[in-house]
Amino acid sequence: MNQKTITPRRAVIIGGVRTPFLRAFGDFTPLSTIDLGAAVVKGLLNKFPIAWKDIDSMIWSGVVLPSDTVNIGREIQFDVGLPMEIEAFTITRVCTSSLNAITLAASAIERGEADVMIAGGSDSTSNAEVKMPPSLVHKAAPVVLNPKSTVRDYFRLLTSLNPRKDLIPLRPAIRERLTGELMGESAEKMAKRNQISREAQDAFAFQSHKRAAKAIETGRFSEEVIPVQTPGGKTVFTDNIVRGDTSIQKLSRLKPAFAKDGTLTAGNSSSLTDGASAVLLMDEAKARSLGFTPIAAFRSWSYDAVDPTDQLLIGPAISMPKAVSRAGMKAEDIDMIDIHEAFAAQVLSVLKMLNSDQFAKDRLGVDKAFGEIKPEEINIHGGSVALGHPFAATGARMVITMANELKLSGKATALLGICGAGALSAAAVMEAV
Amino acid sequence: MSDRLIQLGKSLVIRNLFKNFGLPNLPQELKRSKHPWEQHPLKDQVIITGQIRSSKLTEAIAGTVARLGATALVDGDETIFNIFHKIGSGYGRLPHYLSDEDKPVNPFQAMIYDATDIQRPEELNLVFSFFHDHLRSLSTCGRAVIIARPPETMPDIASATSSRSLEGFIRALSREVGFNGSTANIIYVSPDAEDRLESVMRFILSPRSAYITGQPLNISNQVLMNEPSASIRPLDRKIAMVTGSAQGIGAAIARTMAREGAKVIIVDRPCEEISAAKLASEIQGTLLLCDITDASAGNTMLELISNKFKGLDILVHNAGITRDKLLVNMKSEIWDQVLDVNLRSILRVNEKILPVMREGGRMVCLSSVSGIAGNRGQTNYSTSKAGVIGYVQHLASDVKERGIAVNAVAPGFIETQMTARIPFATREVARRLSNLNQGGQPEDVAETVTFLSSPGASGLSGQVIRICGGALIGA
């Protein structure tokens, strides 16, 4: 037989950009998730000038999706003006969404489905839909959809409506459907169960704000944040949730947000945010032939789930060791760790479990804990507590920050960990190229 | 079939009224679980634990409590607390230390006492003070459990004596806690069978054991264990056959087993076709209409099992009848009929079926408290049901190398159509003659049989589990 040596294809990250992350109902309020997505993809294509015809596919992601156009990826592509022949689709996987879009793109490239791909995510919590109760639809539809309906039918419909039950709009669902808990309430429980003190949470939040503020000040984020113009003509340049001037004293004065005697506050939790991020991925050989310099690649990833009624956001403590062992590595081979900060309490709980032999034995089937990781060793440029958390833009933000950091610092590996609603979680191991 | 006193007792006002007038306690409605087995059956509950001293089982108990989803309240020294802390931290279930300023606000769901290391009768005082001090805070439908070593495995006479004493203690305790729906049981764990304790504890501490109280359970490692225990869907991919399952307890067993993932073969007489077929379609089971007293019954079953399923994992001998008469009035036909259905058919069927039982199989035979204690007018029934006990005890050691566990369950007064036919006065007396002051439900038997059929029950074999609410008669 004629044997050919096939070099396996490798997907590489060329780079990425994101919009500034703004607190919900701020300057980005007029921009829908599609607008934000279009802005960030335009920014990406400006920064990495590639012939548009060379793009094969785009995977977008979103969590708060508009019900009339769920495949926002395709709409973003139209708004950017990309060739219609590029296919685009949209995935949703709670807070791990855009990491998932990126790893799906990497898989597609490595399988040979595509050579050049855009992956990312956007969310505009300011534009979350407010729905009318289904009972209104159930009552009105038979009358409205029937061409034979008479004025009397409409009149009867009007009199049958109950103002309280049928006409008051429903708030967007922010509670877990299974447990009926707000995510903060679940995190509050985790803090209590793992005995994470208010002081530890505030100290972590303080660190997040300080580091993010420093990253902005020193221009560390200028590599990744693009300016965005709002319809009002204003240009937004930087994230607006970060509080560089905060102090432990200020944080410790805040009232508990989710329980009367609780420890979670607005200061040590991530807030509702608008924003978008996008990453350009290519097959390594293709990248070199097009003259691009790759900065990072994925060694492995792991998507997992746990019992939402137990510890909703503990998943990264399972995903992170799994991803590392899939990469054929050990904890000590990892140079940087970036964990999504839904709540300071959740990050600290995850770190606690990563250091528990019992947890490792019971949940991962290994004898030894992943290892001790001090809170100050992770998230070198802050995290979601300080920067905000546009659900489907966070994963890509972490990938971009870590990829840039690998390039700048000359370090070899980075580990990402993300928790999400429904007790989903994800982790990925990135390496410098 | 509804128990009026339980309905009455649901009202706190009426309960207090009864209490203040010095009337006997109304029976407490038992907490039961109709859901499939769950990962954390005691989620967010508090369990108080005590022990003579730290033992080989301390870690196992700490792990069990955390995996049940409960928080431990540790009555013990710092070494013990540290063990609970180390293990609990892996589950986000850090223990509390029992000290005066840290008294639990809420009553606790269960009390576990580890007496495996008891050495002298003087140490029984420790058991006394643990239960004496904390029993008042045990919630309604709570659980008191003592874990000990079987007396025959104890190294000397003093420890064997003490260990046996505990059984008397728990039996008496079960009579005292029954009024509020709580149960008390003792689990004897043979050395080297520690790894089989957890699944038994999961069952005993859960609401599924609501009607089991005042008895010892012996966990041994005689049965070959070839499958890890499962905390959810324990009967996935299992083929189960339940005889007499068209209605009553048998139907409850079939439903519960199907709920936990088993493919159930419903066996009943052709005259029960309608109810059996309804059940079969409800639980997607397979129907087999045959009379188990027929000489060919075993062959009919064998044919179905080997043709359609290529083996059998679970066999429940549930079919049974009563034909009550005082011995002097009893005709030989009804004597014969009862013994044939209840006992001899089991032997005949097993002769054919046992060879095709898969490794790690489970068999449960329905005995009765009548078979243990005897009952007036039931010489035939008691004989057959006592025979069942002898049968499982002997069969258990024959098949242990194949990993098959064989047990009997002995229901007491269960609210079924059969007991509904008992005259009112007799029925009322029979109902109340137990620690829990009430009859059991078919589901209580079904949950127990399902547990005994699960992979995690490999520690129990050759035993008789009474499901009688602590009947005042019987062992």
- On the question of pLDDT at A395 being above 50, the answer is yes
Task: Please list every residue in chain B whose beta carbon sits closer than 8 Å to the beta carbon of residue A310.
Answer: 39-40, 43, 69, 92
Q: Given this model, what pLDDT does residue A8 score?
A: 87
Note whether A370 contacts B: Cβ–Cβ < 8 A: no
pLDDT tens digit string along A156-185? 999 999 888 888 888 777 788 899 999 999
Report how far residue B399's alpha carbon sits from residue B4's, in angstroms, rounded to the nearest whole number.
Answer: 45
Measured between CB atoms, which of A195, A307, A362 is closest to B90? A362
Domain B31-219, classified CATH 3.40.50.720, yes or no: yes
| A153 φ/ψ angles, rounded to the nearest 5 degrees | -60, -45
Report the share of chain B in percent with pLDDT over 70: 98
Nearest CA-CA distance, residue B236 and chain A, Å: 20
Return the residue of B nearest to A317 by Cα.
B90
What would the DSSP string read from start to end of B69-119?
Answer: T-EEEE-S-HHHHHHHHHHHHTTT---EE--GGG--SSPEEEEEEE-TT--
Return the residue of B nearest to A360 by Cα.
B90
Note whether A303 contacts B: Cβ–Cβ < 8 A: no
Contact A310 B67 (CB under 8 A): no
Contact B89 A356 (CB under 8 A): yes
Amino acid at A281: L
Q: Given this model, what pLDDT does residue B1 score?
A: 47
Nearest CA-CA distance, residue B156 and chain A, Å: 35
Give catalytic status of residue B381 as yes or no.
Answer: yes
Task: Please list every residue in chain B whose beta carbon sits closer than 8 Å to the beta carbon of residue A358.
Answer: 63, 86-87, 89-91
Note whether B228 contacts A: Cβ–Cβ < 8 A: no
Q: Which of A80, A72, A67 is nearest to A98 (CA)?
A: A72
What would the DSSP string read from start to end of A170-226?
Answer: BPP--B-TTT--BHHHHHHHHHHHTT--HHHHHHHHHHHHHHHHHHHHTTGGGGTB-
Report how far residue A243's alpha carbon sits from residue A235's, in angstroms, rounded to the nearest whole number.
Answer: 20
Task: Please list every residue in chain B whose beta carbon sits closer than 8 Å to the beta carbon of residue A349.
Answer: 92
Chain centroid to CA B344: how far? Answer: 25
Nearest CA-CA distance, residue A356 and chain B, Å: 6
Q: Given this model, what pLDDT does residue B100 score?
A: 53
Q: What was the ipTM of the complex prediction?
A: 0.83
Task: Please list every residue in chain A whose beta carbon sits closer than 8 Å to the beta carbon of residue B40.
Answer: 307, 309-310
The residues of A assigned a catalytic role are: 95, 389, 419
Contact B90 A357 (CB under 8 A): yes
Contact B92 A357 (CB under 8 A): no
Note whether B35 contacts A: Cβ–Cβ < 8 A: no
Note whether B68 contacts A: Cβ–Cβ < 8 A: no
The first and second tokens of residue B425, run together, are 């006065």
The first and second tokens of residue A98, run together, are 């855009």
Q: Given this model, what pLDDT does residue A10 score?
A: 96
Return the residue of B nearest to A190 by Cα.
B92
Burial class (CB in 10 A: 0-12, 13-18, 19+), B401: exposed
Measured between CB atoms, which of A310, A349, A353 is closest to B40? A310
Q: Which of B270, B310, B299 is nearest to B287 (CA)?
A: B270
Which residues 94-133 of B are in CB contact (within 8 Å) with A?
A: 94
CATH 3.40.50.720 spans which residues of chain B?
A: 31-219, 239-467
Mean pLDDT for B156-176 is 96
**Which candidate in B113, B188, B381, B391 is catalytic?**
B381
Chain centroid to CA A425: how far? Answer: 11
- Candidate from A121-135, A388-402, B276-290 with smallest mean pLDDT: A121-135
* B19 pLDDT tier (thresholds 50, 70, 90): confident
For chains A and B, what is the number of CB pairs under 8 angstroms? 43
Note whether B40 contacts A: Cβ–Cβ < 8 A: yes
Report how far residue B144's alpha carbon sits from residue B186's, in angstroms, rounded to the nearest whole number.
Answer: 8
Measured between CB atoms, which of B39, B87, B92 is closest to A193? B92
* B101 pLDDT tier (thresholds 50, 70, 90): low
Mean of the per-residue pLDDT values of chain B: 93
Contact B92 A314 (CB under 8 A): yes
The first and second tokens of residue B337, run together, are 């009929």
Return the residue of A nearest to B63 by Cα.
A358
- On the question of pLDDT at A2 being above 70, the answer is no
Measured between CB atoms, which of A309, A358, A361 is closest to B89? A358
pTM comes to 0.90
Measured between CB atoms, which of B86, B89, B92 is closest to A311? B92
Q: Given this model, what pLDDT does residue B419 score?
A: 83
* B242 pLDDT tier (thresholds 50, 70, 90): very high
Q: Given this model, what pLDDT does residue B102 score?
A: 54
Measured between CB atoms, which of B39, B90, B94 is closest to A195? B94
Give the best residue of B61, B89, B96 to mutate against chain A (max A CB count within 10 A). Answer: B89
What domains, with CATH codes, occur in chain A? Answer: 11-127+274-289 (3.40.47.10), 183-219+249-268+299-432 (3.40.47.10)
Return the residue of B nearest to A313 by Cα.
B92
Contact B89 A309 (CB under 8 A): no
| A239 φ/ψ angles, rounded to the nearest 5 degrees | -60, 145
Q: Is the four-CA dihedral B304, B307, B309, B313 of positive or negative sign?
A: positive
Mean pLDDT for B68-94 is 93
Report how far residue A425's alpha carbon sits from residue A338's, in angstroms, rounded to the nearest whole number.
Answer: 14
Measured between CB atoms, which of B39, B69, B92 is closest to A349? B92
Q: Given this model, what pLDDT does residue B241 score?
A: 97
Contact A314 B91 (CB under 8 A): no
Return the residue of B nearest to A311 by Cα.
B92
SS3 content of chain B, % helix, strand, coil (to 5): 45, 20, 35
Count, residues in chain B: 475
Report how far residue B465's alpha carbon sits from residue B473's, in angstroms, rounded to the nearest whole number.
Answer: 15
Contact A194 B39 (CB under 8 A): no
Under 8 Å between Cβ of B88 and B66: yes
Task: Please list every residue in chain B whose beta carbon sits closer than 8 Å to the beta carbon of residue A314.
Answer: 92
Contacts of B8 by beta carbon, 8 Å cutoff, 6+ apart: B14, B26
Return the residue of B nearest to A353 by Cα.
B90
Nearest CA-CA distance, residue A247 and chain B, Å: 29
CATH of B239-467, one of 3.40.50.720, 3.20.20.70, 3.40.980.10, 3.20.20.100: 3.40.50.720
pLDDT tens digit string along A182-217? 999 999 999 999 999 999 999 999 999 999 999 999
Note whether B39 contacts A: Cβ–Cβ < 8 A: yes
Across B181-252, where does the E strand assignment appear? 183-189, 215-219, 239-243
Mean of the per-residue pLDDT values of chain A: 94
Note whether A186 contacts B: Cβ–Cβ < 8 A: no
- On the question of pLDDT at B4 being above 90, the answer is no
Helix/strand/coil for A336: strand
* B105 pLDDT tier (thresholds 50, 70, 90): low
Contact B39 A314 (CB under 8 A): no
pLDDT tens digit string along A293-348? 999 999 999 999 999 999 999 999 999 999 999 999 999 999 999 999 999 999 99
Task: Please list every residue in chain B whose beta carbon sits closer than 8 Å to the beta carbon of residue A181.
Answer: none
Report how far residue A224's alpha carbon sits from residue A240's, in angstroms, rounded to the nearest whole number.
Answer: 15
Mean pLDDT for B364-393 is 95
